[in-house]
Amino acid sequence: MDRKTYKTSETVDFVIVGSGASGGIIARELSRAGNSVVVMEQGPRMTPGDFEHDELKYRYLSGITNNPATNPQSFRKDPSQKAERTGSNALTYARIVGGSSAHFNANFWRLHEIDFIEGSRLGPIAGASLVDWPITYAELEPYYTKVEWEVGVSGLAGASPFDPWRSKPYPMPPLPVKSSGVLFERGGRKLGLHPYPSPMAINSMFYKGRPACVQCGLCGGYGCEVKAKSSSVWTVIPEAEATGLCEVRAESYVFRIGMNPAGRATGVHYYDHDRKEQFQKARAVVVCANGAETPKLLLNSATSAAPQGLANSSGAVGRYLMFNKGGGAQARFENPLNEYRGANVTRVIHDFYDSDPKRGFYGGGGFDARSGGPINWGQNVPKDTAAWGPEFKEYLESYTYWMSCSGHGTSLAQETNRVDIDPELKDAWGVPAMRVTYKDHPDDLKHANWQVQRAAEIMDAAGAKQIVAEPVGEARGGVHLLGTCRMGNDPATSVIDKHHRTHDVKNLFLCDGSSMVTSGRGQPTLTIEALAFRAGEHIAQFARANEI
């Protein structure tokens, strides 16, 4: 297919920065509405044949993720410390067309109604900024459904007594259960819990021109070379391009948003494939670069009129960084599970989703049964197991007998947890690099430790021979990058309004994990994509009404 291209001298209707979970959807919605669109993506465009089953490359050599050698970050726990650059980055995300939707595990949980109103129900909490969203579950529900049907999600509606209401079932049945799912379900039911088939953005059947999963087992961290995983690169981006109005410009690193004296965005400055500076003109800019890159871009776009950074009159840009803190346990069973086969997750438990004041701390979450790649698994041994020699070898030989029961939970928003710009560090393009400041809220640590105990109980009830409680440490980074340009009605305390327009710049919109007000309980991508469909619809309406 001949793909549409635009000259940088042309003023397109929209430049979208980022081609991932949200950028791809907004590109589709805006181009289908008749707008000219250029999507800027830092990384390359990969074909199915480019994705490899290579754990070393993808897990250790930044094969498709931000590389600490070229995209460095600094980290500190506390604002009083000097942030240090380390060998690995605190915040990890895919850097290819499709963004992190290309390498996600594809767990697609909806938020529950409570997620949107926890501030008024459970707040205030000392040291945290727990506030309500400016939208409700009811407002987002149609867009959750839209994601499930337009992008493709498999699952079993109505199976969990704890699921929020929904207007339609999943378009595809659940994926086949794995041994970890069977054991997890066995243990959960024995304890009176309600495990159910996990909703996954992976085709369980031929759907929308893409095949069913071939169960190769390499989802999280990998691209899907058969296109069964519902990543933007295989779903909405080709649909956006099919309009003839959308260009996806790979290897184009946007480093500053252009502004005019009237306070309007005029386009984006970027480095092209040859690291040559370019400028793409646009009527409006939509930043969907993820919860790390979006605040970095805004802060690096400071002007004399906005010296704190673009759209940052509230001072909230980059603040309230959240991950999804959780705790779990590994368990060894009598017979082989072969967890390296099949989609990563097949059963989930949401009995403990809500925060329960009786526990004495804030926090809630879900559990799932999952596995990890062998290289990563082999690097760590349980306490009391020899780290080398014949006993270690026996441990390696037991790889297929293990599974993880993983808890995924809340992280409280805290003003001091943030992404900002390191005063000294620059990346390989000479762009000021991000500085990450993060320290878990005490309640997040308590909840994670509480989850470890529940996970161990589930595995014990499942009949595990050996259970290894995973120690809960202080977070030094994450992959769910949330809250750094929070949505809200008050321009003094939030960055974007409920339609994703920045409070400060009329023709600048943001939509990705940074928009989230609370962390949810893990697996934020479905919510990010639902927000993107909703944002795309509203932005298209604004464009039609000449209100951008």
Partner 1 sequence: MAKPIPSRRQFLAAIGNLTSAGWIAMNWPQIAAAAEHAGHGAPDTTAHTTLTTLSAAEAAEVDAIANQIVPGGATPGARDAHVIYFIDNALGSFFAAQLPSFRKGLVEFGSAYAARNGAGAPFSAAPEAQQISWLHEVDKTPFFMAVRRLTVLGLIASPKYGGNYDGVGSKLIGVEDRHVWTPPFGYYDKDYAGFEPYPGTKPYTA
Give residues with Cβ within 8 angstroms of 528, minimum separation 6. 21, 22, 511, 512, 513, 515, 516
Considering only residues 93-112, where is the footprint of partner 1 by CB under 8 A?
A: none
Our CB check for partner 1 shows the closer of 155 and 258 to be: 155
Name the residue nearer to partner 1 (CB basis): 14 or 367: 367
Give me the residue label for tokens 């042309």: 10
- Encoded one letter per residue, x for contact with partner 1 by CB under 8 A and - for no contact, window 222-241 reads ---xx---------------
DSSP result, 37-81: EEEE-SS----GGG----HIIIIIS-SSB--TTTS-EEEESSTTS
Measure the CA–CA gap between 168 and 145, rounded to whole angstroms. Answer: 7
Please state, in angstroms and rounded to a whole number, the distance separating the CA atoms of residues 338 and 206: 25
Q: Can residue 142 be called a binding residue for partner 1 (CB under 8 A)?
A: no
Under the binding rule (CB under 8 A), the answer on residue 432 touching partner 1 is no
Q: Find the binding residues for partner 1 in span 29-68 (CB under 8 A).
A: 48-57, 60-61
Q: Are 357 and 405 in contact (CB under 8 A)?
A: no
Distance (Å, rounded) from C-alpha 264 to C-alpha 256? 14
Question: Reduced to 3 states, what is the DSSP secondary structure of residue 277?
Answer: strand
Binding string to partner 1 for residues 311 to 350, with x set by CB under 8 A, is what? ----------------------x-xxxxxxxx--------
Q: Verify binding: residue 169, partner 1, rule CB under 8 A.
A: yes
Nearest CB to partner 1, comparing residues 73 and 180:
180
Closer residue to partner 1 (CB): 157 or 492 = 157
Residue 182 phi/psi, 5-degree rounding, is -65, -45
- Quick one: which segment of 91-99, 160-168, 481-489, 538-546 binds partner 1 (CB under 8 A)? 160-168
Asked if 203 is part of the footprint of partner 1 (rule: CB under 8 A), the reply reads yes
CB nearer partner 1, residue 103 or residue 319: 103
Instruction: Between 160 and 252, name the residue whose CB sits nearer to partner 1.
Output: 160
517 and 483 Cβ atoms separated by less than 8 Å: yes
Residue 308 C-beta: closest distance to partner 1, Å: 37
Q: For partner 1, which is the closer residue by CB, 304 or 388?
A: 388
As measured in angstroms, the least distance from the Cβ of 379 to partner 1 is: 6
Q: Quick check: 78 and 418 in contact, CB under 8 A?
A: no
Q: Which of 117, 122, 191, 212 binds partner 1 (CB under 8 A)?
A: 212
- The nearer residue to partner 1, 123 or 169, going by C-beta atoms, is 169
How many residues make contact with partner 1 (CB under 8 A)? 73
Q: How far is the CB of 534 from partner 1 (least distance, A)?
A: 22
CB of 522 to partner 1, least distance (A): 22
Q: Which of 173, 315, 471, 473 lies at the binding interface for partner 1 (CB under 8 A)? A: 173
Interface residue with partner 1 among 122, 182, 302, 428 (CB under 8 A) is: 182
**Minimum gap (Å) between residue 136 Cβ and partner 1:** 24
Picking from 115, 472, 186, the residue whose alpha carbon sits closest to that of residue 349 is: 186
Using a 10 angstrom Cβ sphere, with 0-12 exposed, 13-18 middle and 19 or more buried, the burial of residue 398 is middle
In angstroms, the CA 435 to CA 300 distance is 12
Residue 244 region by backbone torsions, left for phi larger than 0, else alpha for psi between -120 and 50, else beta: left
Which of the ranges 10-18, 182-190, 357-365, 436-444 carries the binding residues for partner 1, by CB under 8 A? 182-190
Query: Could you tell me the smallest distance in angstroms from the CB atom of residue 170 to partner 1?
Result: 7
Residue whose structure tokens are 């879900």: 366
Q: Which is nearer to partner 1, 44 or 127 (CB)?
A: 44
Smallest distance, partner 1 to C-beta of residue 285, A: 35
Residue 256: phi and psi, rounded to 5, are -155, 140
Name which of 183 and 548 has its Cβ closer to partner 1.
183
Q: How many other C-beta atoms lie within 10 A of the C-beta of residue 145?
A: 20
Q: How far apart are CB 4 and partner 1 at their closest, in Å?
A: 23
Which one among 9, 80, 161, 383 touches partner 1, defined by CB under 8 A?
A: 161
Taking CB under 8 A as the criterion, the residue among 178, 486, 500, 503 binding partner 1 is 178
For residues 63 and 384, is the Cβ–Cβ distance under 8 A?
A: no
Residue 211 touching partner 1 (CB under 8 A) = yes
> Got the DSSP string for 103-151?
TS--B-PPPPGGGGSHHHHH---TT------SS-HHHHHHHHHHHIIII
313 φ/ψ angles, rounded to the nearest 5 degrees: -65, -25
Nearest distance in Å: CB 452, partner 1: 23
- Around Cβ 544, how many Cβ atoms within 10 Å? 12
| Residue among 188 and 524 whose Cβ is closer to partner 1 | 188
Decide whether 9 or 167 has the Cβ nearer to partner 1.
167
CA distance 437 to 78: 6
Question: CA-CA distance, 482 to 513, in Å (whole number)?
Answer: 5
User: With respect to partner 1, which residue has the nearer C-beta, 127 or 336?
Assistant: 336
Contacts of 101 (CB under 8 A, 6+ apart): 20, 21, 24, 94, 230, 231, 232, 233, 525, 529
Q: Considering only residues 34, 176, 315, 473, which one is a binding residue for partner 1 as defined by CB under 8 A?
A: 176
Please tell me whether residue 447 adopts helix, strand or coil conformation: helix
In the list 12, 15, 213, 468, the residue contacting partner 1 (rule: CB under 8 A) is 213
Window 366 to 425, contacts with partner 1 (CB under 8 A)? 374-375, 378-379, 387-390, 392-393, 396-397, 399-400
Cα 215 from Cα 213, distance rounded (Å): 5
